[in-house]
Amino acid sequence: MWCHRRRPCYGLAVFFIPAAPEKAVSRMDVLVYIGNLAKSTTEEELKSLFTEAGEVTAIKIIKDRSSGESKGFGFITMSVQSEADKAVSRFNAYSLSDHSLKVSLAKPRPQRGTISSHYEP
């Protein structure tokens, strides 16, 4: 750290860390997995279907990076747990575009690039 006269400053260093305002969280978003989608299924179709079970806050159909074609699965974020549970019970095995949907609560994604705490050299 340099002082105003191009000399090194010694002593206390001051760090500026922006404080993030506390967000008032009135809901807990829940991720729902949707599998066995037709390649032609759109996010709009999924939103109109799943809003029957509750508030949909986000939709993501997973696509192939090179071709841009749907991989046949996606995720929907519901605003509360009870609505996500309702979506799972209501739309698992539901027929959409001649495909029987597989709907479940999404499992947490495993962390990549970390060393296990049980690692022994």
> How confident is the model over 18-55, as pLDDT tens digits?
555 444 444 578 999 999 999 999 999 999 999 999 99
Inter-axis angle of helices 81-91 and 43-50, nearest 10: 110
d(CA 80, CA 120): 41
**Three-state secondary-structure class, residue 25:** coil
> How confident is the model over 71-101, as pLDDT tens digits?
999 999 999 999 999 999 999 999 999 999 9
pTM: 0.68
Domain architecture of the chain: domains with CATH: 30-105 (3.30.70.330)
